[in-house]
Amino acid sequence: MEKLIELQDVKKYFVVPNGLLHAVDGINLSIEKGETLGIVGESGCGKSTLGRVMLRLHEPTSGHILYDGMDITTFRKDEMVRMRRYMQIIFQDPYASLNPRFTVAQIIREPLRLHKLCASPAEETERVEALMEMVGLSKRAYNAYPHEFDGGRRQRIVIARALAINPQFIVCDEPVSALDVSVQAQIINLMMELQEKLGLTYLFISHDLSVVKYISDNIGVMYLGQMIEKASKRAIFQRPLHPYTIALLSAIPSLDVERKKKKIILKGEITSPINPPAGCRFAMRCAFAREECFARDPELCEAEPGHYVACHRHREIMSGDLTYPS
């Protein structure tokens, strides 16, 4: 498969009164064309910031972002405007991401006009109607306003707007977390159908592990700005190698009483993301931490083919010599 997106040592630091907040710190990853890479981690770990940096909605502090082989970190503002045709984002809150003064048709038509993709108003109307049909919106919604719809249909409007200019890559920033569970399933299935039909590539950000497991091909786990594990969804769920990932997966509710796992409660203080010290950022909460973990940053290395982990003790976890008490 061909790489569409590649990040090389990408960092994003924010200046705060006490120093530098390391929101994204040394991320290396690649996403192949047609792939869905899920990003999980607790709130504040840098998931959303990573998505915005990839689109240069936040400028990276350092590193390189390659899109189809082109280093977009070197692009001028006018060049990035043209790149927006190929890279879009679906935000978490459909209530906040739509202009309440625009009708559905105006919202979907806006990117078409911005990028001058239609030769006439009639062609614009035809395109808008086709997009509405594609995402499951009836023609009656054409002149309606966002406040007239529920959350699920508002998110369909957001998706139609993102698809209007035929992008190849879409950052999905918790696109269903503000929706009811029944509506979540409808939107996720719609996104998967559109991906198959249009050949889309997704970065899917979520804190809901079950949703990520359903939609993703591969999964990256973030902790305090760093990628600590990345593998296929099967490997992540069946054979996690980082202590944090193991604890994270133990929090998933299970309906199987006989195979129900004990929930792992993490203790200890969370390392501050502001001017973090050397060493593993999870060490303060890790039951397996030793002196080396506090002294040296673990590198993201390939523990098994296609399975990357940043942990000094991953070999002991792989062998079964190191386990959480049952």
Whether 261 is covered by a domain: the verdict is: no
Structural domain count, the chain: 1
Give the domain CATH number at 186. Answer: 3.40.50.300
Whether 200 is covered by a domain: the verdict is: yes
pLDDT digits (tens, 9 = 90+) for 281-296: 999 999 999 999 999 9
pLDDT digits (tens, 9 = 90+) for 92-121: 888 888 999 999 999 999 999 989 888 899
Whether 281 is covered by a domain: the verdict is: no
Q: Is 308 helix (H, G, I), strand (E, B) or coil?
A: strand
**Crossing angle, helix 104-114 and helix 151-163, to 10 degrees?**
20
- 244 CB-side CA count, 13 A: 26
Whether 41 is covered by a domain: the verdict is: yes
Give percent of the chain above pLDDT 70: 97
pLDDT digits (tens, 9 = 90+) for 154-175: 999 999 999 999 999 999 999 9
Whether 274 is covered by a domain: the verdict is: no
Whether 122 is covered by a domain: the verdict is: no
pLDDT digits (tens, 9 = 90+) for 113-150: 989 888 899 999 999 999 999 999 999 999 999 999 99
β partners of residue 271? none
Task: Report the predicted TM-score, pTM, of the whole model to 2 decimal places.
Answer: 0.94
Domain that residue 227 falls in: 3-86+167-237
C-alpha to C-alpha distance for 40 and 245, rounded to whole angstroms? 10
Whether 293 is covered by a domain: the verdict is: no
The per-residue DSSP string of 73-127 comes to GG--HHHHHHHTTTEEEE-S-TTTSS-TTS-HHHHHHHHHHHTT--SSHHHHHHH
Whether 79 is covered by a domain: the verdict is: yes
